[in-house]
Amino acid sequence: MVLPVSICLLLQGKDFHIVRSLKAVCSNALVRDLLPTIPYEKPAYKVNTVPSTSIEDGLLPPRSLLEAPMSMKQYAKRFSLLLHIEEHQMQLDIRRYDMEGVTMQVFKEDKKLLCLDVPGVAEKRPSVLPHDHLFVCPLTQNGVRDRTEYKGYVHRVLNERVALGFGKKLMAIFLPNMKFAVRFVVNRYPLRMQHRAVQLAVEHNCMPWLFPTPDFVILAS
């Protein structure tokens, strides 16, 4: 909050004003705890280095679907397409936070979990929540990736760390100084619910509510 402050002085029989701005900062322990811990730097985009099989391209959707005016006939197809486009962008965004050559430690509060340092997770960069998951891949001493990725579920988010639950195979070979490549992914559950909502809107004939006509408004009232 910035407040103007004026001081009036009498100088040689004339009023003399000095005006200054007074800045007041209100804070408490909670606000201080939520302050960024590290300067934000937009991470550089990393090319996906995970080995994959060859991919045969599919048939692209017609662009006219996005450019055409909204109508009841193409509502479901258009909204589903927009959800797929949004998911693709979300995947690209979160992959910017992939990490290479990092280590994990056994979580002190629960020895069945492993703790991973994730800089920026407190500020949702990247956004990682309990019940989300990510993938880790062990690295050799030469930095070569193993052929197996291990899926870890997020149990707890603690400031700049996350506690992860892995299967027995990774826990059996885990060593404190092992290095991993970390791949972040988007939790698709909210997106699946949105796709389901679009389908139900069509199946239950909700189009009149989404695109009401004057006659329908009068009838519904």
Contact 114, 143 (CB under 8 A): no
Beta bridge partner(s), residue 81: none
Model-level pTM greater than 0.95?
no
Per-position pLDDT tens, the chain of length 221:
666 777 777 767 777 667 777 777 777 777 777 777 777 776 665 656 666 666 777 777 666 777 777 777 788 888 888 899 999 999 999 999 999 999 999 999 999 999 999 999 888 889 999 999 999 999 988 888 988 999 999 999 998 999 999 999 999 999 989 999 999 999 999 999 999 988 888 888 887 777 777 776 656 55
What is the rounded CA–CA span in Å between residue 74 and residue 83? 14
What are the beta bridge partners of residue 176? none
Architecture of the domain spanning 68-187: Beta Barrel (2.40)
Token pair listed for 203 = 């199946």
Beta bridge partners of 115: 105, 163
Domain assignments of the chain as residue spans, ordered by start: 2-33, 68-187
User: CB–CB of 152/134 below 8 Å?
Assistant: yes
At residue 190, the 3 state secondary structure works out as: helix
